[in-house]
Amino acid sequence: MTAVYQRIFTVEQDDYASAGLVSSLIKESLRYMGISPAVVRRVAVATYEAEINMIIHAYGGTITLEIGDDGTIHLLAKDNGPGIPDIEKALTPGFSTASKKAMELGFGAGMGLPNIKRNADVFHIESSPEGTILDLLFKEKS
Amino acid sequence: MTAAEIVETLGAKPLAVSDFHPLTKEYVSAFATDLMSDALAMIQESPEDTVLLTGLCNQQALRTAQMLDIELIIIVRGKEFNEEVLRMSRNMGVNVFSTHFTMYEACGKLYQRGLKAIV
């Protein structure tokens, strides 16, 4: 896949006021490009969960959106730590380490990573104390 | 049920009304939660025909609706949006109403009138 479009968005730690803004921009861009609504929705949900995670659990990070020449959507979410100690646990629906502040926002259901995994066609996660990398691909279903 | 019938059943008052989604539009299902990730996980089929009932009245309720293409939100327990959230809902073009009923009562009334659970 050769990327024909790339845009990098920055997500700030604890920036609760802007939470969801990056996802909303990404969603609008994809819609504008004529990607089908079902795919746009899957990307939007995954991006939104990743963005919220960066704000409530991590020290901020970046979300890179790339569109390939074959129409594949590539999303790379990279945060600045502190990492996920047990990825398997974090992928278990219902498991949550969310703070009181995150709960007030309506998050902490323990569905964040499971939601991301379910919506992406290819899901890859790596985590260390330096940060977590989520590498996601979304394809138009034929 | 149309949006207007839902609003009437719940005696709900408008917080934000959109030009894009008329109140004559038919809705087939509803989902009620205060946890936005649950909404993001559960509402998969035809979210544009699904009503979101929630007691969460911050920006994240709106963002969740936006990601899912949900067009009608009912705020329960008589809560209201603050100015900033109101402004955002107007900009987003979503219909938001507030009912004084609790989540349980609001769901019961809508279920009785034929609004289904999500599939």
State the ipTM, two decimals.
0.89
The helix or strand, by DSSP H or E, that contains position A107, with its residue range, turns out to be none
Tally A–B CB contacts below 8 A: 71
Low-confidence ranges of chain A (pLDDT < 50): none
The reported pLDDT for the residue numbered A101 is 85
Domains (range + CATH), chain A: 3-138 (3.30.565.10)
Pick B60's closest partner by Cβ from A19, A27, A93.
Answer: A19
Q: Is the pLDDT of residue B45 over 90?
A: no
| Nearest chain B residue to A50, by CA | B37
B35 touches chain A (CB under 8 A): yes
Question: CATH for B3-117?
Answer: 3.40.1390.20
A23 touches chain B (CB under 8 A): yes
Q: For a pLDDT cut of 70, what percent of chain B falls above it?
A: 100
DSSP chain B: -BHHHHHHHTT-EEEE--SSS-TT-B--EEEE-S-HHHHHHH--S-GGGEEEEES--SHHHHHHHHHHT--EEEE-TT----HHHHHHHHHHT-EEEE-SS-HHHHHHHHHHTTPEEP-
Put simply, the answer to whether B37 touches A118 (Cβ < 8 Å) is no
Domain segments of chain B as ranges: 3-117
Residue B107 φ then ψ, to 5°: -65, -45
| Nearest chain A residue to B61, by CA | A106
Task: Read off the pLDDT band of B55 (50, 70, 90).
Answer: very high
Put simply, the answer to whether B41 touches A44 (Cβ < 8 Å) is no
Residue B115 φ then ψ, to 5°: -75, 125
Put simply, the answer to whether A41 touches B60 (Cβ < 8 Å) is no
B61 touches chain A (CB under 8 A): yes
Put simply, the answer to whether B36 touches A107 (Cβ < 8 Å) is yes
